[in-house]
Amino acid sequence: MKKSMQKQEIILASASARRRDLLQLMGLEFTCIPSQADEHITAAAPDEYVKLLAQRKARDIAATHNNACVIGSDTIVVLNDEIIGKPIDETDAKRILRKLSGNTHTVYTGVCIIANGREIVDVDSTDVTFRELTDMEIERYIASGDLFDKAGAYGIQGEFCVHITHMKGNFFTVIGLPVHKVYEMLIELNVIDNS
C-alpha cells in the first residue's frame, strides 16, 4: 500500500508488537497509543467478547483523538467453551499449553475501527491444532520467554510453529490482526483509497 493511499492519521490503540508489525506490513503509517480501557468482561460468547474489548480499546483512544482513525483489537483462544487469555506466570503457561496439547482450539480476533464519525466492529476466527507436546518441549518453550504476552501462551509466528499441525482460517488472525478485514474496513471508512 502506497503512502498516498492513506487519507488520515491512524492510531493503533495497542502496545502489541505483533499488531504493529502487521500494520507496517500493510504499508500504513501510524502511531501506537495503548488503551487503558477496562478489559474485565464477566460473560459473553467468544465472538462478542473480542468485539466488545476491541470496541472499548478503540473508543478509549478515539475519545481524545477524534480527528484520527483509531484501530482497536483483541485476541483470545477458546477451547471447549473456555476463554483462554495471556498466562499470568510460568505455572499458568504450563497449564494452558498442556490443555492445548494434541487438541484443536479456536482463535478469535475482534477489530473495531473508528474514523470520520463512524464505527465498524468485526471479528474473525481460525482453528489451530497442536501436536502432542512433551513436558520437555513445554519447558523449553516457556524458557524462551516468547509466550507471556500472547493469548493461549504461544506465538504461531515464532519457534512454536513446529508444534502446529493444522490451521483452518487466516494466519494473521492468529497473530492478532485479521489484515484482510482491517483493509476492507479502512476502505469502507474512507481512510484509505483503493481506486
pLDDT band at 2 (very low <50, low <70, confident <90, very high): very low
Instruction: Identify the CA nearest to 47 among candidates 109, 100, 104, 105.
Output: 109
Q: Class for domain 3-188, per CATH?
A: alpha beta
Long-range pairs of 39-45 with CB within 8 A, sequence gap ≥ 24: 39/74
| Helices and strands: H and E segment counts in the chain | 6, 7
Task: Note the pLDDT tens digit of each residue in 134-191.
Answer: 999 999 999 988 777 888 999 898 889 999 999 999 999 999 999 999 999 999 999 9
81 is catalytic: no
pLDDT band for position 116 (50/70/90)?
A: very high
pLDDT higher than threshold 60 for residue 4: no
177, 162, 82: which is closest to 122 by C-alpha?
177
**Domain assignments of the chain as residue spans, ordered by start:** 3-188
Annotated catalytic residue, options 60, 74, 122, 124: 74
99 C-beta neighbours (distance < 10 Å), count? 18
Please give the model's pTM, rounded to 2 decimal places. Answer: 0.92
Give the angle subtended at the CA of 171 by the CAs of 85 and 32, to the nearest 5°.
65
